[in-house]
Amino acid sequence: MTEIKVIGVIGGGQMGSGIAQLAAAYGHDIWLIDSDPAALTKATNSISSSIQRLVSRNLLSREVGVDALQRLKCSTDLKELHSADVIIEAVVESEDVKRKLFLELDKIAKPSAILASNTSSIPITRLASSTTRPEKVIGMHFMNPPPIMKLVEIVRGVDTSDETFDAIKTLAERLGKTLICSQDYSGFIVNRLLMPMINEAFFALYTGVATKEDIDTGMKLGTNHPMGPLELADLIGLDVCLSIMKVLQSGLGDDKYAPCPLLVQYVDAGRLGRKRGLGVYDYRKLPKPEKSKSRL
């Protein structure tokens, strides 16, 4: 099996930056690519403060933290990925954008490179079909935030080889994750179950069943969920939730997955959740968390 040294991550948003941080902390050299230079600046700052937080809580040694930051390189140029052994795509949840990206990556990446997608819901077989190496394309679905959450959902496309599966399984385990494997159907396992619940929480709010606080408290204290569905939607991003519901609706051919009009309206209004400071809840009024005093 090819040794995985250099990992390319595309998309410096909340998932891509978290995946880059995690893989760097486990000793991989990272190229983090985003088409938006501002996203790379934001990603570098958030990785740096996240590492400082982990060090100050003794969850990461200072040496590993310093080493991880040195292993991270950022660029807007996809061509930097020619040296990567594995490329993990974490750009917006749009099939069009991802297919175009896989088409380009297929030309840039070395022939032995594995192309993985962090998609939440889009079938891997469809992304693989825009490349000439479908046997090297696989779903590697991290949970949010990637450095903390223990799960990786692996999705094999129809042509994914055993060799590719074994390499990604080994990588995920080395990153300290527990794996589950899903067949390649829209939404896989986690979002097939999670997103209809979140969508139903929006319907409960939309139809006046209860307040947002009571919906979330009901699920936290009544069913032992660590976060309420509406709080979780804000963490994930309402745009991501909406895209996933649309993929479920069209991919599984069932209107029971039709997105709630309130979810659509919030996204139309730019209320995308925590990343914008406003979603179901308003985060702009919350006091800023205290800056960690420890320095790397």
Ligand X SMILES: NC(=O)c1ccc[n+]([C@@H]2O[C@H](COP(=O)([O-])OP(=O)(O)OC[C@H]3O[C@@H](n4cnc5c(N)ncnc54)[C@H](O)[C@@H]3O)[C@@H](O)[C@H]2O)c1
Q: Of these residues, 117, 120, 121, 243, which one is catalytic?
A: 120
Q: Which of 7, 8, 9, 16 binds ligand X (CB under 6 A)?
A: 16
Any contact of residue 90 with ligand X (CB under 6 A)? yes
User: Pairing state of beta strands 72-75 and 114-117?
Assistant: unpaired
Instruction: State both tokens at 257.
Output: 């997955």
Q: Does residue number 149 form part of the binding site for ligand X (CB under 6 A)?
A: no
Annotated ligand binding at 120? The verdict is yes
How far apart are alpha carbons 240 and 273 in whole angstroms? 10
Closest distance between ligand X and the C-beta of residue 219, in Å?
17
| 50 annotated as ligand-binding | no
CB 32 within 8 Å of CB 12 = yes
Tokens of 205: 């709010």
Binding of ligand X by 182 (CB under 6 A): no
Q: Does 75 contact ligand X by CB under 6 A?
A: no
12 contacts ligand X (rule: CB under 6 A): yes
Paired sense of beta strands 178-182 and 137-142, if any: unpaired
3 is in an annotated binding site: no
The distance from CA 94 to its chain's CA centroid, rounded to whole angstroms, is 13
Instruction: State the binding string over 101-140 for ligand X (x if CB under 6 A, else -).
Output: x----------------xxx--------------------
Q: How far apart are CA 97 and CA 111, in angstroms?
A: 22
Determine whether the annotation assigns residue 34 to a binding site: yes
Nearest alpha-carbon partner for 146 in 9, 295, 284, 290: 9
Q: Is 196 exposed, middle or buried (0-12, 13-18, 19+ CB in 10 A)?
A: middle
Chain mean position to CA 158 = 22
**Region binding ligand X by CB under 6 A among candidate stretches 67-75, 91-99, 167-175, 215-223:** 91-99
Q: Is 95 in the site for ligand X (CB under 6 A)?
A: no
| CA–CA distance, 47 with 15 (Å, rounded to integer) | 11
Q: Quick one: which of 84, 91, 152, 278 contacts ligand X (CB under 6 A)?
A: 91
Chain positions 234 to 253 lying near ligand X, rule: CB under 6 A, are: 236-237, 240
- Is 191 annotated in the active site? yes
Q: What are phi and psi of 171, to 5 degrees?
A: -60, -50
Residue 296: other Cβ atoms inside 10 A = 16
Minimum Å gap between C-beta 269 and ligand X is 17
Among residues 141, 182, 186, 243, which one is catalytic? 141
86 binds ligand X (CB under 6 A): no
Cα-based angle 8, 131, 72 (whole degrees, multiple of 5):
5
Query: Which residue of 29, 35, 165, 252 would you call a contact of ligand X, by CB under 6 A?
Result: 35
Known catalytic residue: 120?
yes
Binding positions for NAD(+)? 11-16, 34, 93, 98, 120, 144, 275
List contacts with ligand X (CB under 6 A): 10-16, 33-36, 39, 90-93, 97, 101, 118-120, 141-142, 144, 236-237, 240, 275
Active-site residue numbers?
Answer: 120, 141, 153, 191
